[in-house]
């Protein structure tokens, strides 16, 4: 597939779109110039940063459909025959990172995997442990929790899995371990809130002790599911308390879908930045709960407001501010490659729009309590169509002006190739 999405195919596809893009880019350039922004600076800024940001967390939609799960497993980069992440990165040029999920993404030889990935221009980001599902052959069930289980043996087993994830991650070149546990209860009174959190913290301290000095431990909270009455790390409050308890290497990860509807997530982000505890993000979108819908498919204004806080932190040189950006979505009715490309662009779109916020004006309106103009200042940036910047940045870095169309053209060629008779044959049919 990576061969099918060739440099020449991308160049061919770009040729027909280049003139129109140049016009749109010039038009946006003059629009932004009137507002005091240099489009070249923004495009370069994006190029510089986007190579570091937006790793794609390869996650299987395991909760939904085993058939889809199988299909997904066959498509991830670890199967040599299909190369989801390399194809995406080749087209969008901003997703060089992979966030492996263990044991789903376990291989026999991690150094061989790292070498293989590096040859494809990819690197590994945070490794994810999984103690929310029982694995075949494991000695102790996680039915009643993992790191916070009442059974010491189950807790030890969960700690041991996290330690092996760290070891695998060291080989891969990862610099963080993401820990999300499904521990919780379904009935009032089922668990002692304080004792269960104490057990979680004791286990987490053992994991933290094994985190290398140049690593971080990302703690991910989630309000509910699979437990529906209480969850041990249910919100950012408990999350940050645990991160503070553990130490400076522990930080709080924000998965956009892991909050109650209508919660002010951008404010949570600001709080975590202020107290040096923002680990990063699992981007996705949601309508009702942990829907894992494509990023930017529902609430694009919220995503922009989150990036408004992130760009504000960049401008202020906020201390210990280096969040990891990952996509954490499930795709049941779309091609994951197409959805992930779309989502990467939507996340970048929010970032670019946040760069356009007139921060001097905003600061003035905040100081003078001009609520309406403060809100309008944000809206002015949000309402700008920055698509030409995204497309130009992709083109200049060797990617596709229109990644979906180029991917579909490649897929079309692939189908032609697989349908084509091996030798000669009819002259009709395939054109
Ligand atoms: Mn997540």
Find the 153 Cα to ligand 1 centroid distance in Å. Answer: 26
* Within-domain flag for 390: no
What's the domain count of the chain? Answer: 1
Three-state secondary structure call for residue 152: helix
Find the 255 Cα to ligand 1 centroid distance in Å. Answer: 5
pLDDT in tens, 56-95: 554 433 333 333 333 434 444 444 334 677 788 889 988 8
Residues with CB under 5 A from ligand 1 (ion): 255, 282, 328
Structural domain for 346, as ranges: 54-357
Match 């599902």 to its residue by tokens: 133
Instruction: Report the interhelical angle of 403-419 vs 7-34 (nearest 10°).
Output: 170
* Within-domain flag for 43: no
* Within-domain flag for 25: no
Closest CA to 161 of 197, 137, 195, 193: 137
List the CATH number of the domain containing 268. Answer: 3.20.20.150
pLDDT in tens, 243-301: 999 999 999 999 999 999 999 999 999 999 999 999 999 999 999 999 889 999 999 99
Could you give the residue ranges of the DSSP H alpha helices within 61-192?
A: 66-75, 84-92, 110-119, 152-172
Find the 57 Cα to ligand 1 centroid distance in Å. Answer: 9
* Within-domain flag for 417: no
* Within-domain flag for 190: yes
Q: Taken in order 166, 211, 283, 346, is the CA torsion positive or negative?
A: negative
Find the 131 Cα to ligand 1 centroid distance in Å. Answer: 14
Find the 369 Cα to ligand 1 centroid distance in Å. Answer: 37
Looking at per-residue pLDDT, the higher value among 269 and 333 belongs to 269
* Within-domain flag for 32: no
* Within-domain flag for 1: no
Find the 366 Cα to ligand 1 centroid distance in Å. Answer: 34
Looking at per-residue pLDDT, the higher value among 198 and 99 belongs to 198
Find the 246 Cα to ligand 1 centroid distance in Å. Answer: 21
- Distance (Å, rounded) from C-alpha 337 to C-alpha 56? 11
Find the 326 Cα to ligand 1 centroid distance in Å. Answer: 9
User: Residue range 130-149: average pLDDT?
Assistant: 96
Find the 422 Cα to ligand 1 centroid distance in Å. Answer: 45
* Within-domain flag for 117: yes
């Amino acid at each position: 597939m990576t061969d099918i999405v060739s440099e020449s195919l991308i160049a061919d596809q770009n040729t027909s779109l280049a003139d129109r893009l140049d016009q749109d880019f010039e038009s946006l350039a003059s629009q932004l110039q009137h507002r005091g922004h240099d489009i070249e600076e923004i495009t370069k800024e994006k190029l510089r940063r986007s190579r570091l940001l937006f790793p794609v967390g390869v996650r299987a939609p395991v909760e939904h459909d085993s058939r889809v799960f199988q299909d997904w497993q066959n498509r991830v980069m670890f199967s040599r025959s299909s190369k989801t992440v390399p194809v995406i990165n080749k087209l969008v040029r901003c997703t060089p990172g992979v966030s492996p999920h263990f044991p789903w993404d376990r291989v026999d030889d991690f150094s061989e995997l790292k070498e293989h990935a590096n040859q494809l221009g990819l690197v590994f980001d945070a490794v994810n442990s999984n103690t929310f599902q029982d694995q075949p052959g494991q000695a102790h069930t996680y039915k009643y929790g993992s790191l916070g289980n009442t059974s010491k043996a189950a807790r030890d087993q969960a700690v041991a899995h996290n330690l092996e994830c760290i070891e695998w991650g060291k080989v891969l070149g990862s610099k963080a371990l993401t820990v999300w546990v499904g521990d919780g209860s379904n009935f009032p009174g089922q668990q002692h809130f304080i004792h269960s959190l104490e057990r979680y913290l004791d286990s987490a301290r053992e994991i933290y002790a094994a985190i290398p000095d140049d690593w971080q431990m990302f703690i991910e909270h989630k309000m509910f599911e699979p437990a529906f009455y209480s969850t041990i790390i249910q919100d950012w409050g408990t999350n940050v308390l645990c991160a503070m308890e553990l130490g400076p290497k522990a930080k709080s990860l924000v998965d956009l879908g892991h909050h109650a509807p209508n919660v002010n997530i951008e404010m949570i982000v600001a709080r975590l930045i202020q107290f040096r505890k923002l680990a990063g993000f699992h981007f996705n979108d949601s309508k009702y709960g942990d829907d894992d819908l494509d990023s930017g498919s529902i609430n694009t204004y919220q995503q922009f407001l989150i990036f408004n806080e992130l760009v504000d932190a960049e401008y202020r040189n906020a201390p210990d501010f280096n969040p990891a950006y990952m996509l954490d979505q499930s795709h049941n009715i779309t091609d994951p490659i197409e959805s992930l490309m779309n989502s990467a662009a939507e996340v970048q779109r929010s970032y670019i729009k946040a760069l356009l916020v007139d921060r001097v004006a905003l600061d003035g309106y905040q100081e003078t309590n001009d609520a309406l103009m403060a809100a309008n200042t944000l809206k002015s940036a949000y309402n700008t169509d920055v698509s030409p910047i995204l497309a130009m940045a992709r083109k200049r870095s060797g990617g596709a002006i229109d990644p979906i169309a180029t991917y579909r053209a490649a897929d079309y060629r692939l189908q032609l190739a697989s349908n084509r008779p091996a030798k000669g044959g009819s002259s009709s049919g395939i054109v």
